[in-house]
Each structure stands twice: as structure tokens, then as C-alpha cells.
Amino acid sequence: MSGVPILEVDGVSREYRKGGLFSGSGFKAVDNVSFSMPAVPQVFSIVGESGSGKTTLARMVLRLVEPSAGSIRLLGRPLTGRHKDRVDDLEFRRLVQPIFQNPFEAFSAYLPIEDYLRRTAINLKIAHTSADVDQVCDRALRSVGLSLDRIRGKYIRQFSGGELQRISVARALIPRPKLIVADEPVSMVDASLRMSIVNLFRQIVEEQGVSFIYITHDLSTAYYLSDQVSIMNAGRVVESGVPTDILDRPTHNYTRELMAAIPTVEERWGEFAAIDAKYRTNPTGQAGAPMHQTDRHA
């Protein structure tokens, strides 16, 4: 495997204006952020409260927002600016895929869900014949515990949030990307399913060699899942390192405050007890129940 880092973010900033055109002032949503993700597949988490700049940073990596300053390199090649060896759009979409927060917004209510997977395979030129397209989609779905036969002809209303998020992950896996940028991917998913999605990410890192940027406000899932964590506050990275170092020896007050916001064992127990109670009123786990068969196995 080449030793070239998957991603190098170097002194990246993004400025916006606050207030009116004449009375307002500029501010940095992201302020001089640098980090690097090594060639070896890993999960890099960016943790911070609402407004800390996480999504803006993710959107710059996804090339949806242009940095005001700094540079981003993918596998040693520029993603930003006008360089002659800049990664082109098709290549970029094959190498880097997003997963967004709300799986219900990721798909239209009026199209069978497999159409999205097929379109990704066709648009990214991953498969050409209809049989190949089906095979590529089925392979991706199987790697998240589903299959093309199981989703065929179904619409979003026929899936749970956890299943839809798995389908979003399958769609992202179609081009066999090197990097997935997942922005708050479990915040809209029922608490009982969160860990199964997070475990699925870990499995994909290990079995398929895909690196993840995991954006979250939840320090506990980041701690559980990540190889490296950066804590963001007011656009800046205030702390970074391996999760155990950060949680055992936080150096910044903001990190301590985030840690204090992690529920205690008793509070978590209350959450699980509530889920358990829902189950007792609906033991079959059918429509409306919090957990689905397909979401149990990761």
C-alpha cells in the first residue's frame, strides 16, 4: 500500500458574513484547521457543538464549499484551487462519498429506493449493463446486511430510519471509495440502532479498507469508534489525538465541558429502560417498533 496520506487539510479557513451587506462583519466559520489522515484506513472524528464549524469543514472536504484560505489534498493531489493535477469531478466522486444526517431527506418519496443505487452506479460509470449494475448494487447492499431482492420495488416509507441509513451507506460504497464523509449520520436514528450503524462503519473500515471522517456532537460514539479525534470549538481545532488520550487527559476546558455532557451510566440505563418498555408493548418489533430485524446484526 502506498504511504501517501488519504487526506491532508492544511491551514483551511472559511469566512462568511454575519449581519447585513453593509452593516455586517466577516467571521471565520472554520479558522486555520489542519489535520492529516494516513494511508492506513481509519476513522477520524470531528467533534463539537452546534455552530462549531464541523459541517463547513466537511463540506470543504466534499468540495461543496471552497475554502477562503488553505489547501486540501486527496492522495497527494490538490482538491482545491486551480491546479493542473487537481482531482477531476468524476474521479473525486468515485474516491470520496458523503453520508448525510437525515436518511429520509436523502431519497425521494416517489422513486423506488433501488433507483438511487442504480443511478450512482451508472453516473459514476461503475457498471454499464443492467446485469452489472444490479450486481454492483447487490454487493454494496449485502455489505450492509441487506440485498437488492429485499429492497426491490420499495419506497422510503417502507423502511425504518436505521434501514434507510444502511441503504445510504450502501449507496456510498458503490464506487468502492477511499473516503466516506459522514456528517452526523446517527443523530436522526433511534438510540437503539445507533451502535449498530457505528459498528457497521468499523466493519467497513476493516473489511473494505475505507477511511471515514465521522462528524458528530456526540463524544461517546466518537470515543468508541475513532482512531483519531479532533475537537472543534468556534471554528478552531482545540484538541486532537487518540480518543483515550483526549478523554483521559483533556487539556482544553471545552473538551471537559463536552465530556460532562456525556450521559452517566444511570442516564444511559434510563434510555435503555425506556426502549425496553416500548418493546414490551410491541414485542414483535413490527411497524412502529424501535428496532428492526435487519438492524440487529452489525
Ligand X SMILES: Nc1ncnc2c1ncn2[C@@H]1O[C@H](COP(=O)(O)OP(=O)(O)OP(=O)(O)O)[C@@H](O)[C@H]1O
The angle formed by the CA atoms of residues 169, 107 and 296, to the nearest 5 degrees, is: 40
150: Cβ contacts below 8 Å, ≥ 6 apart: 141, 294
For 250, the grid coordinates are 483533556
For residue 26, state whether it binds ligand X (rule: CB under 6 A): no
Closest approach of Cβ 28 to ligand X, in Å?
Answer: 9
Q: Which of 48, 161, 162, 175 is close enough to bind ligand X by CB under 6 A?
A: 48
Part in contact with ligand X (CB under 6 A); list of ranges 50-58, 71-79, 104-112, 249-257: 50-58
SS3 category, 73: strand
12 vs 173 by CB, closer to ligand X = 12
The CA–CA distances, whole Å, from 78 to 14, 30, 35, 69 equal: 17, 19, 15, 14
Q: Which of 5, 9, 12, 56 is close enough to bind ligand X by CB under 6 A?
A: 56
Closest approach of Cβ 104 to ligand X, in Å?
Answer: 17
Q: Which of 45, 55, 240, 255 is close enough to bind ligand X by CB under 6 A?
A: 55
SS3 category, 212: strand
The alpha carbon of 41 is separated from its chain's Cα centroid by a whole number of angstroms, namely 15
114 vs 183 by CB, closer to ligand X = 183
For residue 52, state whether it binds ligand X (rule: CB under 6 A): yes
For 70, the grid coordinates are 488553505
Closest approach of Cβ 217 to ligand X, in Å?
Answer: 6
As a whole number of angstroms, the distance between CA 101 and CA 138 comes to: 23
Residues 86-145 that bind ligand X (CB under 6 A): none
- Return residues touching ligand X (CB under 6 A): 16, 29, 48, 50-56, 217
